[in-house]
């Protein structure tokens, strides 16, 4: 297929674009480079543009005879979405609806969408199944839920085929160390811990150590970025007219903040000072996917099921790219 990857110069999108291309698809990344990196995209495959520039999206879809869109482009800082919700509603909802209008105009009806476990809000129980209620507790999660709903309506009314993939915590980097996580500002746990290992930060702050978990720190389900990418390709290949597919992408394994830090100490061999601070507002103590549906429906099996190999790939990237893509 000819695939347009929105946000293809970003962290998850760049890994997916490369895997798509290696699987034999023709791939173009569409990114405004607000957070993306030129160096994360194969030469000649980056189209610089904004989701909100509908005319440019339509022209791009037509010029490259696009069959499907993988839609990663969004803003994704949970905290900022609370303090500046307008920015999130505008980019993640208006921007995505503009992309969807452009797809209709160009006759493109297949889309794989980056959703999030943040659409569940405070989980009713853990592990989280797709049947749980979705009650997001921040604007970021709500913007993603709105698009899930819009996609469902488009599937019913216009015969679109879509997959909304609810990632848990994306982590790790490509095994060859060429692609990795480079966010500015960085807020995610693993890159922050590895920046401490590199001497770029003095310590890692643990947000709470008296939570109702076995070691008192937050538990998350870390899913390798290449496993996310392979799930996207499996989902894409499954889309027919009217297909509606919504599923979690996680390993089903929980890892605590302390366990992540210990894994980073063991892998880097460097001391990583940690300081305990109060819990971060809105952080549920434990988020773990029930990952059964993706396995059953997509035949998808994550390659990375424990934190050690995930951190090993992340360390390979951070050690060889201490300044990220340096662009």
Ligand X SMILES: O=c1ccn([C@@H]2O[C@H](COP(=O)(O)OP(=O)(O)O[C@H]3O[C@H](CO)[C@H](O)[C@H](O)[C@H]3O)[C@@H](O)[C@H]2O)c(=O)[nH]1
Can you list the pairs that 319-327 forms with residues at least 24 positions away whose Cβ atoms lie under 8 Å? 319/198, 319/268, 320/177, 321/177, 321/180, 321/182, 322/198, 322/200, 324/37, 324/180, 324/182, 324/184, 325/37, 325/38, 325/39, 325/40, 325/182, 326/39, 327/37, 327/38, 327/39
Q: Distance between CA 108 and CA 67 in Å, rounded?
A: 6
Closer by beta carbon to ligand NAD, 269 or else 294: 294
Residue 280 binds what, of ligand NAD, ligand X, none (CB under 5 to 8 Å, by partner type)? ligand X
Binding residues for ligand NAD, rule: CB under 6 A, are: 7, 9-13, 31-36, 50-52, 72-74, 76, 91, 95, 114, 116, 167, 169-170, 183
The end-to-end CA distance of the chain, in Å, is 31
Q: Distance between CA 80 and CA 37 in Å, rounded?
A: 21
Alpha helices in the chain, H assignment, sequence order? 11-22, 54-63, 78-83, 85-88, 95-106, 139-158, 189-197, 225-238, 257-268, 292-298, 307-320
Minimal CB distance residue for ligand X: 218
Element (H, E) at 255: strand 255-256
Site string for ligand X, 186-225 (x = CB under 6 A): -xxx--x-----------xxxx----------x-x-----
Residue 189 binds what, of ligand NAD, ligand X, none (CB under 5 to 8 Å, by partner type)? ligand X
Residue 114 binds what, of ligand X, ligand NAD, none (CB under 5 to 8 Å, by partner type)? ligand NAD
In whole angstroms, how close is the CB of 263 to ligand NAD at the nearest point?
A: 17
* Partner residues linked to 275 by β-bridges: 205
Near ligand X by CB under 6 A: residue from 118, 223, 263, 298:
118
Residue 50 binds what, of ligand NAD, ligand X, none (CB under 5 to 8 Å, by partner type)? ligand NAD
Closer by beta carbon to ligand X, 89 or else 207: 207
The answer to whether residue 11 is catalytic is: no
* Partner residues linked to 248 by β-bridges: 166
In whole angstroms, how close is the CB of 188 to ligand X at the nearest point?
A: 4
Catalytic residue among 140, 162, 167, 304: 140
Residue 220 binds what, of ligand X, ligand NAD, none (CB under 5 to 8 Å, by partner type)? ligand X
Structure tokens at 245: 């597919």
Q: Using the rule CB under 6 A, is 251 a contact of ligand X?
A: no
Residues that bind ligand X (CB under 6 A): 76, 78, 116-118, 169, 187-189, 192, 204-207, 218, 220, 257, 280, 283
């Amino acid at each position: 297929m000819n695939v347009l990857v929105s946000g293809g110069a970003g962290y998850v999108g760049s890994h997916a674009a490369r895997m798509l291309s290696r699987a034999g698809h023709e791939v173009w990344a569409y990114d405004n480079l607000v957070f993306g990196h030129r160096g994360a995209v194969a030469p000649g495959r980056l189209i610089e543009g904004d989701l909100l520039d509908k005319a440019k999206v339509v022209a791009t879809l037509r010029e490259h005879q696009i069959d499907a869109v993988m839609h990663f482009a969004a803003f994704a800082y949970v905290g900022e979405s609370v303090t500046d919700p307008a920015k999130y509603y505008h980019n993640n909802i208006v921007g995505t609806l503009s992309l969807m209008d452009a797809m209709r105009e160009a006759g493109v009806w297949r889309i794989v969408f980056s959703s999030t476990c943040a659409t569940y809000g405070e989980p009713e129980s853990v592990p989280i199944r797709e049947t749980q209620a979705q009650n997001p507790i921040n604007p970021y999660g709500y913007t993603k839920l709105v698009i899930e709903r819009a996609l469902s309506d488009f599937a019913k009314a216009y015969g679109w085929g879509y997959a909304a993939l609810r990632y848990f915590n994306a982590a790790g980097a490509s095994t060859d160390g060429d692609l990795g996580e480079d966010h500015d500002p960085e807020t995610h746990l693993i890159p922050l811990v590895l920046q401490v290992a590199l001497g770029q930060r003095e310590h890692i702050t643990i947000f709470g150590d008296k939570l109702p978990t076995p070691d008192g720190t937050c538990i998350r389900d870390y899913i390798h970025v290449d496993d996310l990418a392979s799930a996207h390709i499996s989902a894409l290949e499954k889309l027919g007219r009217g297909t509606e597919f919504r599923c979690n992408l996680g390993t089903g394994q929980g890892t605590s903040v302390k366990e992540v830090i210990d894994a980073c100490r063991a892998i880097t061999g460097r001391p990583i000072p940690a300081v305990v601070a109060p819990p971060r507002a809105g952080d549920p103590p434990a988020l773990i996917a029930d990952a059964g549906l993706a396995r059953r429906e997509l035949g998808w099996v994550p390659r990375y099921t424990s934190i050690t190999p995930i951190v090993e790939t992340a360390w390979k990237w951070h050690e060889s790219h201490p300044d990220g893509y340096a662009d």
